[in-house]
């Protein structure tokens, strides 16, 4: 029952997506049906020509010419209608693709930025690219091919019924064998496909896990052992697939003979000879039956392929519809402009799923031109709190204020002109270095771009690239992690936002890159309201304010010296950090000696 309800919902999603092109689709189906019917004219014409040629007496040339003309006209009309039908459905497909791509791009621009943190790039790419490709075949080809596969044999069988009902039955004599076998083979198809998809997902996960960790694996000489999870996943998928498909292939090979042209002709001619001997039909009627019967295998194959395309398209439409139904970031109809660069957290609470609170009653202010550091153990809520400022997510309680205005009452474009952020994972787009730098300020001059790069200490590396600032990321601009981070900082510096969020910007940098990144961040932070998240407490001893979070609540707040004097949670964290730092330094000295 539940499965049927889900299938009905998916079918409804597909119908809804196709609603804008319903008229074109119906026109294509109508033309395709006419084209398929006129395709029967040559078959009937050949049979009638045979009647004329074998009739006693002189051959009537006028009748032969008339039938031949009808055959030629029928072929012309059939090809024209079918070609026009496909042109119409391709036009419908282009229109639907344009509508859906615009809608998807619009939706991707409307969802909260935090939505991208929860979704992988593969999920988005599948919906925007792969799923639309699956819809292409359904819209542009499937309907015309399906109606032809139904109308052509149906029209042929009606013609045979008009001649003699026995001929119609003879034309489909072998079809029940294949249909019974096919029905048996498709038992539990949906469940089997779900199992195979799950197995293939484990294969993909094992590949990603191995590739991401290959450097560590090779360093510790565990290559063979690391392959084991991948090999297990592949073996499981292979065994499951082979166990399902192998017996089906044997049955398919045997039952497909029932639809092979030689078998159909053998059955038609053998049984037909008996019909002729009994005087039920004429040899010419048997010729017409044979011509119609040999068309049936191709139509059955087309129907099978159509059902597969239909299933894929229904699943694709469901995923596209789900993406289009994602909640958009609420935008106020009466936007206000922030009055200054101060950031205030006013009794902020937040929950990802509506049940467990990640933040509870958080209140503090960040004055303009100051640096506030958020510290705490892993899972304390530091990154979540910082991401509330640029509206990666909206608070579930309280408010975040920018310049005295609730950020939910600020237009998104105005908010992003005032709030910039540099995250741990740098995101660079496929384009030139200059294009990446200008993302936040497309109108920036070349001189301003260079000045930002110099301030971020990345200019010398950029001019050393094959085409300098015109080098393309990922092609002739291959940057290390620290270099990409400095490029991201230059981009933020060029955007010139009044508020800056820094989320562990040096987390993955080597010591040399870290020093350069810290210098670059110092240049970015001047005169701005900065909120920084850092696990390395030594980097934030000089900030204006340190906010200590624990289990989503503010436990302490103050300067480095004041918090040490209070001898609370921050002081314990500092002592643990200092001890680990000294231990690491001692190990490095021992290794060097």
The residue with greater pLDDT, 421 or 459, is 459
Task: Render 305-367 in DSSP notation, one character per residue.
Answer: HHHHHHHHHHHHHHHHHHHHTSPPPP--SS-----SS-EEEEEEEEESSSSSEEEEEEEEEE-
pLDDT at residue 219, rounded to an integer: 44
pLDDT at residue 549, rounded to an integer: 93
The token pair that represents 26 in the structure block:
């119906």
pLDDT digits (tens, 9 = 90+) for 141-173: 888 888 888 888 888 888 888 888 888 888 888
pLDDT at residue 241, rounded to an integer: 63
What is the mean predicted confidence (pLDDT) over 91-119?
Answer: 81
What is the mean predicted confidence (pLDDT) over 11-28?
Answer: 83
The residue with greater pLDDT, 15 or 436, is 436
Confidence grade of residue 456 (pLDDT, cut at 50, 70, 90): confident
Q: Which residues have a Cβ under 8 Å from the Cβ of 122 and sit 6 or more positions away?
A: none
User: Helices marked H in 119-260 — which ranges?
Assistant: 121-125, 131-137, 143-163, 165-171, 175-185, 189-212, 214-219, 223-255
- Whether 506 has a pLDDT exceeding 80, the answer reads no
What is the mean predicted confidence (pLDDT) over 438-459?
Answer: 88
pLDDT at residue 283, rounded to an integer: 86
CA angle 472, 422, 335 (to 5 degrees): 105
Three-class DSSP category at 198: helix
Q: Which of 254-258, 366-370, 477-481 has the lowest mean pLDDT?
A: 254-258
Mean pLDDT of the chain: 79
- Whether 220 has a pLDDT exceeding 50, the answer reads no
343-351 and 397-402 beta bridge pairing = antiparallel
What percentage of the chain exceeds 70 in pLDDT?
A: 75
Q: Which of 77-86, 245-254, 308-317, 442-451 has the lowest mean pLDDT?
A: 245-254
| Burial class, 97, CB count within 10 angstroms (exposed 0-12 / middle 13-18 / buried 19+) | middle
Three-class DSSP category at 546: strand
Determine the Cα–Cα distance for residues 593 and 82; give it in Å rounded to an integer.
Answer: 83
The residue with greater pLDDT, 386 or 316, is 386
Confidence grade of residue 344 (pLDDT, cut at 50, 70, 90): very high
Helix (H) or strand (E) holding 397: strand 397-402
Determine the Cα–Cα distance for residues 348 and 462; give it in Å rounded to an integer.
Answer: 42
Determine the Cα–Cα distance for residues 543 and 190; give it in Å rounded to an integer.
Answer: 59
Confidence grade of residue 218 (pLDDT, cut at 50, 70, 90): very low
**CA dihedral sign of residues 331, 336, 337, 340:** negative
Three-class DSSP category at 557: strand
Confidence grade of residue 248 (pLDDT, cut at 50, 70, 90): low
Q: What are the backbone angles phi and psi of residue 541, rounded to the nearest 5°? A: -65, -25
Query: How many CA atoms within 13 Å lie on the side-chain side of 472?
Result: 4
Confidence grade of residue 539 (pLDDT, cut at 50, 70, 90): confident
What is the dihedral angle through the alpha carbons of 386, 392, 398, 403, rounded to the nearest 10 degrees?
Answer: 70
C-alpha 159 chain-centroid distance: 48
pLDDT at residue 589, rounded to an integer: 46
Contact (Cβ atoms closer than 8 angstroms) between residue 540 and residue 560: yes
pLDDT at residue 7, rounded to an integer: 59
The token pair that represents 156 in the structure block:
């042929």
The residue with greater pLDDT, 129 or 293, is 293
What is the mean predicted confidence (pLDDT) over 34-62?
Answer: 79
The residue with greater pLDDT, 32 or 318, is 32
The residue with greater pLDDT, 266 or 366, is 366
What is the mean predicted confidence (pLDDT) over 402-430?
Answer: 86
* Cα-Cα end-to-end distance for the chain: 72
- Whether 80 has a pLDDT exceeding 70, the answer reads yes
What residues pair up with 556 in beta bridges, in sequence order?
548
The token pair that represents 388 in the structure block:
């509330």
pLDDT at residue 408, rounded to an integer: 93
What Rg value do the Cα atoms of the chain yield, rounded?
35
- Whether 180 has a pLDDT exceeding 60, the answer reads yes
- Whether 79 has a pLDDT exceeding 60, the answer reads yes
The residue with greater pLDDT, 263 or 399, is 399
pLDDT digits (tens, 9 = 90+) for 193-207: 555 555 655 565 556
pLDDT at residue 243, rounded to an integer: 62
Determine the Cα–Cα distance for residues 201 and 195; give it in Å rounded to an integer.
Answer: 10
CA angle 310, 315, 319 (to 5 degrees): 140
What is the mean predicted confidence (pLDDT) over 377-404?
Answer: 90
Task: Render 447-501 in DSSP notation, one character per residue.
Answer: HHHHHHHHHTT-HHHHHTSTTGGGPBBTTTB---HHHHHHHHHHHHHHHT-SEEE
What percentage of the chain exceeds 90 in pLDDT?
A: 18
Q: Which residues have a Cβ under 8 Å from the Cβ of 163 and sit 6 or more positions away?
A: 281, 285, 288, 289
Q: Which of 67-71, 132-136, 303-307, 353-357 has the lowest mean pLDDT?
A: 303-307
What residues pair up with 357 in beta bridges, in sequence order?
351
- Whether 230 has a pLDDT exceeding 90, the answer reads no
The residue with greater pLDDT, 215 or 306, is 306
């Amino acid at each position: 029952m539940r499965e049927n309800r889900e299938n009905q919902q998916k079918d409804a999603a597909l119908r809804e997506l196709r609603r804008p092109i319903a008229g074109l689709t119906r026109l294509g189906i109508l033309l395709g049906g006419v084209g398929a019917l006129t395709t029967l004219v040559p078959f009937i014409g050949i049979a009638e020509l045979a009647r004329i040629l074998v009739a006693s007496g002189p051959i009537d040339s006028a009748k032969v010419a008339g039938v031949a003309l009808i055959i030629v006209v029928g072929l012309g009309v059939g090809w024209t209608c079918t070609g026009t039908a496909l042109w119409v459905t391709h036009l419908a497909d282009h229109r639907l693709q344009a509508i859906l791509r615009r809608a998807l791009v619009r939706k991707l621009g409307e969802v909260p930025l935090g939505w991208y943190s929860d979704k992988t790039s593969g999920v988005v790419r599948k919906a925007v690219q792969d799923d639309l490709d699956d819809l292409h075949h359904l819209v542009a080809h499937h309907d015309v091919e399906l109606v032809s596969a139904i109308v052509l044999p149906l029209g042929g069988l009606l013609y045979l019924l008009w001649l003699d009902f026995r001929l119609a039955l003879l034309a489909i004599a072998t079809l029940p064998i294949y249909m019974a076998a096919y029905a048996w083979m498709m038992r539990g198809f949906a469940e089997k496909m779900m199992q195979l998809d799950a197995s293939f997902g484990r294969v993909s996960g094992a590949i990603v896990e191995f590739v991401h960790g290959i450097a560590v694996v090779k360093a510790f000489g565990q290559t063979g052992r690391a392959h084991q999870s991948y090999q297990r996943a592949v073996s499981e998928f292979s065994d499951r697939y082979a166990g399902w498909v192998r017996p089906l292939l044997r049955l398919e090979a045997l039952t497909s003979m029932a639809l092979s042209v030689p078998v159909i002709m053998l059955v038609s001619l053998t049984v037909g000879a008996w019909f002729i001997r009994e005087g039920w039909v004429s040899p010419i009627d048997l010729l017409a039956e044979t011509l119609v019967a040999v068309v049936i295998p191709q139509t059955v194959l087309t129907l099978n392929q159509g059902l597969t395309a239909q299933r894929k398209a229904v699943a694709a439409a469901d995923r596209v519809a789900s993406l289009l139904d994602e909640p958009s970031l609420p935008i106020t109809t009466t936007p206000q402009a922030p009055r200054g660069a101060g950031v205030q957290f006013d009794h902020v609470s937040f929950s990802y799923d509506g049940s467990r609170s990640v933040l509870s009653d958080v209140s503090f202010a960040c004055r303009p031109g100051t640096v506030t550091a958020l510290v705490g153990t892993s899972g304390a809520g530091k990154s979540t709190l910082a991401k509330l400022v640029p509206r990666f997510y909206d608070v579930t309680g309280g408010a975040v204020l920018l310049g005295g205005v609730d950020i939910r009452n600020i237009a998104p474009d105005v908010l992003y002109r005032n709030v910039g952020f540099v995250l741990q994972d740098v995101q660079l787009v496929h384009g030139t270095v200059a294009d990446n730098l200008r993302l936040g300020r497309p109108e920036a001059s070349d001189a301003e771009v260079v000045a930002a790069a110099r301030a971020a200490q990345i200019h010398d590396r950029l001019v050393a690239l094959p085409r300098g600032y015109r080098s393309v990321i990922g092609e002739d601009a291959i940057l290390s992690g620290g270099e990409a981070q400095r490029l991201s900082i230059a981009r933020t510096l060029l955007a010139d936002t009044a508020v800056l969020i820094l989320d562990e910007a040096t987390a993955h940098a080597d010591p040399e890159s870290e020093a350069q990144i810290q210098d670059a961040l110092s240049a970015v932070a001047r005169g701005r309201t900065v909120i920084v998240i850092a696990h390395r407490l030594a980097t934030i001893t000089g900030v204006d304010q340190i906010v200590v979070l624990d289990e989503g609540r503010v436990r302490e707040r103050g300067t480095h010296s004041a918090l040490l004097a209070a001898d609370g949670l921050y002081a314990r964290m500092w002592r643990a950090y200092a001890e680990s730092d000294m231990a690491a330094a001692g190990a490095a000295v021992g290794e060097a000696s």
